[in-house]
A = this chain, B = another copy of it.
Amino acid sequence: MSAAEETAGGEDMPWGEVTPEAARRLLVAAVDAFAERGYHATTTRDIASRAGMSPAALYIHYKTKEELLHRISRIGHDKALEILEAAAGGPGSAAERLADAVRSFVRWHAERHTTARVVQYELDALGPEHRTEIVELRRKSDAAVRRIISEGVRAGEFDVPDVPGTTLAVLSLCIDVARWFNAQGRRTPDEVGELYADLVLRMVGAQK
């Protein structure tokens, strides 16, 4: 599935925050080009052509190819952080919040796997300042999950010998869904989310 197809489906309009429409179309074209050929093999000319626009029209919206990657990465990481902080700050026990975080985070990585691959695999192509900004967002996402797990341990709900290591493993398990998920496969994003929420509750030794 391409980013263009991801845009067609889904509950809320992906990239809805990107305006005007030409800027959004270029962004979706960039995601597809980066996912197919990699960042370094993609030219701004390729991106403009995929979007049915001229290179000159692209430069009105984005000064460089790196600016496109940064915009994609920033929106993806903002969304990830929003999902995880909403779960961390939500109602319910630590187990309910952790299950909620995993379900939503997995669903995002499954439904938006083309975008998620670009966001996850092209970090090294960001310029130093943009990279620092994105690393900080990733630190906050990690902190949101660590907070739920720590609260569960403190409340006696979870049994976790290594909280930072388990946090890393939980996030890693969810992120890797973007690598293997196949929209034509046997499991829907919701089914993977349910399975993974159960597996993660086992990882933290949640009381049943």
Contact = CB atoms under 8 A, between A and B. Distances in A.
Interface of A: 36-41, 120-121, 124, 161-162, 165-166, 168-169, 172-173, 175-177, 179-180, 187, 192, 195-196, 198-199, 202-203, 205
Total copies of this chain within the assembly: 2
A6 to B, nearest CB: 17
A179 B120 contact: yes
Contact of A173 (B37, B161, B172): B172
A120 B175 CA distance: 14
A193 to B, nearest CB: 12
B176 A172 contact: yes
A169 B175 contact: no
A121 B32 CA distance: 15
Given A172-B177, A172-B180, A176-B179, A199 B166 contact: yes
A114 to B, nearest CB: 12
A162 B172 CA distance: 20
Contacts of A121: 121, 179
Contacts of A173: 169, 172-173, 176
18 contacts: A36-B124, A37-B38, A38-B39, A38-B41, A39-B41, A40-B40, A40-B41, A121-B179, A161-B198, A165-B195, A166-B199, A168-B180, A172-B176, A172-B180, A175-B176, A175-B179, A202-B202, A203-B203
A180 B123 CA distance: 11
